Chains A and B, each alone.
Chain A
Amino acid sequence: MTEGNGHDSSPAYISADTTVALIAAKLSLQPEQVRDALRQLSTELHGQTEEHPHILIDGLGTLARDATGLNFHPSAELESLVNGEYASLVPVRLDQGPAAPTLAADATSNRKGQRLKTILLTSLIIIGIQAAVFLVLQQTGFWDGNNTREPTLTVEQPSVNTEYQDEVAETAAAGNIEEADTVVTEIPMETETTIEPETSGENPGFDLEIGGYAIILASFEGAATALNEAARFRDIIADPSLPVGVVRTLSEDSEYFRVYVGQMPAVGEAVNLREQLTGLPADAWIIRLGAGSQVIQ
C-alpha cells in the first residue's frame, strides 16, 4: 500500500471536505462536528491497533498495523464487488512446448479427414448424377443400349389372354414356328376369315390400312358391352389423340369384341404407352391389328 494521497488530480476523487459534507448531511451534523468525530474515531482505532494487530471493520475490510504503519486489506466481498467487470477472468497457463506438435498433428489429421470426406461426397454425387441420367434416358426412351424393353415384354407375356395363346398354338401347329416363337414382337394378326362384313363400319381411330399395335383393355362376347366399356375407357384415358374403340375378332370359333386403345407402329411403343397410361386394367395386353381386322368403333 502506498502512503500519501496523491489523488487530487483524479476526476473521480472525493476530497476530504466533500466526504465530511456527505457525512454531515447524513447525520445532520456540522462539518466541524464530523471532523472532530472522525478524529476521535481515528484515535480510538490507533489505540486499539496497539492492542490488536488486526481490526476488522464490518463491511469494509481489515486494518492492520505493521512496521510500515497502518495498512488496509479489503474484505473479500468488497473486493469481489469492486472487481466486478473482471470477475469472470481467471489466470491461464499455456504449455507451449508440447502444444505445437499436437496442434500440427491435429491439423494434419483434420486435413486428411476433410480430403476423405470430399472424396466420398464427390463419389456419391457422381453416382447420383449417373442414376438420374439413366432414369431420365430410360423414361424418355432414349436408352436403347441392349434394349431393356425387350425383357419387359417377355415378362408381360403371361398376361396375354388365353385365347391369344391358343391362336399362337394354332399358328405353331400350322408349321409357322417362327411366328409362334416371337409371340411378343411378332404377334400374329387377327384372323380375317371370321369377320362379318355387315358390321364393317367407319374407323375413326385405328387405321387398319396402316396397321400396327394396340392395347386390348377388355374382351366381350357382346358388342354393346364392349362399346360401353370403350366409352368408359375413353373418359378414363381422356386423350383425344389416342384412338379408343372396339375391334371384332374371332378366336377358336368364338367371336369377341375387344376394347382397344392406341395405334403404335412398333410393339415397343405400345408397351411404353401401356406403361404411361393410368387406369388401364392390370391384364391389358398388346395385339397387332391389320387389314384383316375389323374395327367397329
Chain B
Amino acid sequence: MMMMLKNGDVLLATTVEIIRATLLEGKAIEVPHLGTFAVQQIKGTQRLLPDGTIVITPPRNTVAYSYPND
C-alpha cells in the first residue's frame, strides 16, 4: 500500500523544491537525515547479441539516491 505525502508540510515542500532545482542544474545535494540526491549519467552501451544483432543504448541521466549516514 502506498502512502502519499502532499506538500502541505511547508518543510517538505521547501525541501523538495530545493532538491528539484539542484537536480535540474545537474548538481548533487545532501539533505540531512534524508539522504543525498544526485544526477547520474549512465553511459551508452553497444552489445552484440548471439544472432548478430547489435543493440545500441544511448546514454541517459537519472537520479541517484544515497541513504543518509547519520
Interface residue ranges, A against B (CB under 8 Å): 1-7, 10, 12-16, 19-20, 22-23, 26-27, 34-35, 37-39, 41-42, 45, 48, 51-62, 69-72, 74, 78-79, 81-86, 89-97
Contacts and interface: CB of A to CB of B under 8 A. Distances in A.
Given A13-B27, A54-B2, A56-B4, A41 B33 contact: yes
Interface of B: 1-7, 9-12, 14-20, 22-39, 48, 51-69
Contacts of A5: 30, 36, 66, 69
B53 A95 contact: yes
A42 B28 CA distance: 19
Closest 7 pairs between A and B when the two form their complex, measured CB to CB = A89-B58, A72-B65, A42-B33, A74-B63, A52-B3, A12-B27, A14-B29
9 contacts: A3-B67, A4-B67, A14-B29, A39-B33, A42-B34, A79-B63, A82-B63, A83-B60, A92-B55
A81 B23 CA distance: 9
Given A57-B12, A69-B67, A94 B56 contact: yes
A69 to B, nearest CB: 5
A19 B62 CA distance: 21
Residue of B10, B24, B25, B60 most packed against chain A (CB within 10 A) = B60
Contacts of A78: 20, 23, 63
B34 A38 contact: yes
